[in-house]
Structure 1
Amino acid sequence: MGETRKLAGRYRLLNPLGASVRLAFDESEHRDVAVRELRVPIELRDVALDEARRAAELRHPFAVRVLDVVVEDRMPWLIMEFVSGASLEQTVRSRRTLPVAQAARVGVCVLSALTAAHAAGIVHGRVDPGKVLLTPTGRAVLTGFGFPSLSMLPSADVWSLAATLHFAIEGRPPGQVAAEGPDPLRSLVRAMLHPAGPPHTEVVRETLERLAVDRPLDVVLEASGPLPAAHVAMIGLAVIDRLRAGGAFHGGVHPGNIMIDPAGGARLLPLLGAGTLPAYTAPEGAQTLAADLWSLGATLFAAVEGAPPAPGASLTRAGPLAPVLFRLLSGNPSERPTLDELRREFGSMAHND
């Protein structure tokens, strides 16, 4: 038998692709496929078959399809789409950890596949770096659907995705202590791993999508230096619109939490970390909108001057922004401008570029 064995009279087994997975040739459709025997206890076989057949109905661009489920010698086999690519685990172990933007793109793909699966009542149950395939075209696809999920909840998949992203950027599982760091991706991973449960899926999705294509303001400043006053005013407009929409204390207004897109637009991310960085924390230490506005003033000061405010620091590049920044950075919260006042003043400056 060996190399000449066929399953269901059509899937000719070829060489191994990894642990318990083999390449096969589908003689009916004339295509390569991957096959895997579902080795489960006899008492779980019917449950495994039911879950595998349900997974075969899942169609998503970032999920490796289960094409067929066959039973051979009373043992179930999964026939899966063959995808060319290296696993995330192989890539990190043989090369290096992934840059933040690439890791975030992996997260976008995998979360999209999991969200579709959960909507169909399917829990993956085995998400890990070995089951995320990185294709030559830049996609990340999740394999491993069709195995018994052992009654796991969807939240288990989200936790496992966080652990997988942790491995992608740190080269190790999270263990007892997740990686420290104020950057948005590490903050997101820590929030997803928290025992209290992950943030809402939409918050996770939005953050990953932003990180996949945008850069934090602190990274932009480090790479390019201070920004023109008109651009800084546009950033201020975007942040106050987000604060207005939130309607409550944000607590995380600082350059590492503001994403700049390729066109220069800005967006304040939801708070996922420990809070505002010390250099951007209002002197009164209160959890109020006025404190957020002080943090905004310190952030815009850094954007236009190249460093956060410090005692005796002067505004040499701010131009028309200077009076607004002085009011935002007032030690008296009641002297700081309102959102409406800021919108008018920033709007006027942003359009005088």
Structure 2
Amino acid sequence: MAESRKLNGRYRLLNTLGTGSVRLAFDELEHRDVAVRRVRVPPELRDAALFEARRAAGLRHPFIVGVLDVLLEEGSPWLVMEFVSGVSLEQAVRSRRPLPVPQAARIGVCLLAALTVAHEAGIVHGRVDPGNVLLTATGRAVLTGFGYPSLSMLPSADLWSLAATLHFAVEGRPPGQVPAEGAGPFRSLVRAMLHPSGPPPMEAVRETLDRLAVDRPLDAVVEASGPLPPAQVAAIGLAVLDRLANVFHGGVQPGNVLIDASGRARLTPLLRTGTLPAYTAPEGAPTQAADLWSLGATLYLAVEGVPPAPGAALTRAGALAPVLLRLLSGNPLERPTLDELRRDLMKVL
């Protein structure tokens, strides 16, 4: 194909981009750079490809590489897309290293927003993968690859692929049959989204990604800064307590308590993660009393710097010590009620 060739008498083809399946072109009518891609499909899928491409041309979103024009040249559909300067997620991870969780979470926020808009328009992407995610110099992640036949895929397929893409971002490999272990909320979220029974509710996914994009887990805060003052720990306890009313959470532990820049805490939603042994109530029952024991163990780590252990002394807890001792009682009936705990934490605060 000659470099001087034009598509539709308008788009002058220039050099290849990335792996070579996409080419830079100059739109001589609008005087702008664009990206073009030939959609290589069997002849029997050509009409479906044109239909999907024209539907995708109606999508406009800051995190979507828009389809600007759809052409039929030499019997094949061609997509004319916005030109976005950036490197693919696949290239970024393979040439450098896996990404830190906050950056991966920000990518997840962008991609989930893009897929939400597409699904609301009745469009399934069908090809979400690290090669179709572009990272721009301004920190955006934009999803390209719209306009191909989705072959009757369901939106849930896109969400599974999103989870696999995020797994690649932090692990440097696809999930395969064994997603990476780890108690942190990001990896727990990814495993939950990859679960054969389907992803968690989208609001839970969105909320968790939003928080992880800007906040840090409590265990990471303690590891970086050391044990926290009793009053600050009491405030964390009150914030978590507000999420435990009338429902068994089952995953209360430091990795699931996120701390924002001002020190405020938030418990992430339950995402089929379970609780680490050090934060699991001795009776192992799915009750509110068990959640309170887990909260006590979490606050213990925050104020002492280590998880609770049988016979361990409370050396830093101060006025919080009696509250923790009640929460960590081996007898569920001796633990405080929600109202009693709220009152006691307010006294410490």
Give the TM-score range, shorter chain: over 0.9
> What is aligned with 1:299?
298
Give the 3-state SS of the residue equivalent to 1:181 in structure 2. coil
Q: Which residue of 2 aligns with 1:105?
A: 106
Aligned position for 1:4: 4
Shift of 1:348: 3.3
Which residues in structure 2 correspond to 1:15-26 (within 5 Å)? Answer: 15-17=15-17, 18-26=19-27
The Cα of 1:129 is off from its aligned counterpart by 0.4
SS of 1:286 mapped into structure 2: coil
Secondary structure at the aligned position of 1:2 is classed as coil
Q: Deviations over 1:294-350 (max 9, x none)?
A: 111111111111112112211222122111111111111111111111222223332
Matches within 5 A, 1:32-71: 32-71=33-72
Secondary structure of the 1:68 match is strand
Aligned mates of 1:202, 1:240 — CA distance in 2: 20
Q: Per-residue deviation at 1:252?
A: 0.7
Alignment of 1:273-292 (within 5 A): 273-292=272-291
Alignment-derived partner of residue 261 in structure 1: 260
Residue-by-residue CA offset, 1:280-299 (whole Å, 9 max, x unaligned): 11111111100110111111
Which residue number corresponds to residue 76 of structure 1? 77
Q: How many angstroms does 1:208 deviate by?
A: 0.9
Which ranges of structure 1 fall in alignment gaps of 5 or more residues?
Answer: none
Given residue 44 of structure 1, which amino acid in structure 2 is its aligned partner?
L
Q: State the shift of 1:174 in Å.
A: 0.8
Residue identity in the other structure for 2:71: V
Residue type of the partner of 2:3? Answer: E
CA distance in 2, matches of 1:22, 1:313: 65
How far apart in 2 are the matches of 1:248 and 1:51? Answer: 44
1:234-249 matches, cutoff 5 A: 234-244=235-245, 247-249=246-248
Cα separation, 2, equivalents of 1:117 and 1:326: 51
Distance in structure 1 (CA, Å) of the matches to 2:273 and 2:51: 43
For 1:9 and 1:215, the matched residues in 2 are separated by 53
* Structure 2 residue matching 1:213: 3-state secondary structure: coil
Normalised by the length of structure 2, the TM-score is 0.97
| Secondary structure at 2:243 match in 1 | helix
Q: 1:92 is matched with which residue?
A: 93
After TM superposition, which residue ranges in structure 1, 4 or more long, deviate above 3 angstroms? Answer: none
In structure 2, what residue type is equivalent to 1:11? Y
1:323 aligns with 2:322: yes
Matched AA of 1:3: E
Letter in 2 for 1:4: S
Q: 1:271 offset after TM fit, Å?
A: 2.1
Alpha-carbon distance in 2 for matches of 1:170, 1:282: 31
Determine if the alignment matches structure 1 residue 13 to structure 2 residue 13. Answer: yes
Answer yes or no: is 1:178 the counterpart of 2:173: no
Please give the alpha-carbon distance, in whole angstroms, between the structure 2 residues aligned to 1:100 and 1:273. Answer: 19
- Does the 8 Å CA contact 1:249/1:287 hold for their aligned counterparts? yes
2:167 is matched with which residue? Answer: 166
1:224-267 C-alpha deviation (Å, 9 max, x unpaired): 000011110111011110011xx221111110111111110111
Identify the residue that residue 143 of structure 1 maps to in structure 2: 144
Deviation at 1:19, TM superposition (A): 3.0
**Is structure 2 residue 211 aligned with structure 1 residue 207?**
no
Task: Answer yes or no: is the 8 Å Cα contact 1:237–1:346 preserved in 2.
Answer: yes
Q: What is the deviation of 1:273?
A: 4.5
- Name stretches of at least 5 consecutive residues in structure 2 with no aligned partner: none
Distance 1:297 1:156 in 2: 39
1:306 counterpart letter in structure 2: G
Q: Once the 2 structures are TM-superposed, how far is the Cα of residue 274 of structure 1 from its aligned partner?
A: 3.7
- Contact persistence 1:248–1:289 (CA under 8 A): yes
Aligned length: 348
Distance (Å, rounded) in 1 between the aligned partners of 2:301 and 2:42: 61
Residues 192 and 273 in structure 2, CA contact (< 8 A), matched pair in contact too: no
Q: 1:144 corresponds to which letter in structure 2?
A: G
Letter in 1 for 2:13: L
**Kept in 2: contact 1:285–1:291 (CA 8 A):** yes
2: distance between equivalents of 1:14 and 1:64? 19
SS in 1 for 2:80: strand
State the distance in 2 between where 1:109 and 1:94 align. 22
CA distance in 2, matches of 1:298, 1:282: 9
The one-character-per-residue Cα deviations of 1:24-47 (angstroms, maximum 9, x if unpaired) are 000111110000111122222121
- 1:253/1:296 contact within 8 Å kept: yes
User: How far, CA to CA, are the matches of 2:272 and 2:304 in structure 1?
Assistant: 26
Residues 182 and 273 in structure 1, CA contact (< 8 A), matched pair in contact too? no
Task: Please state how far the C-alpha of 1:117 moved relative to its aligned partner.
Answer: 0.3
Structure 2 distance, partners of 1:80, 1:156, is 24
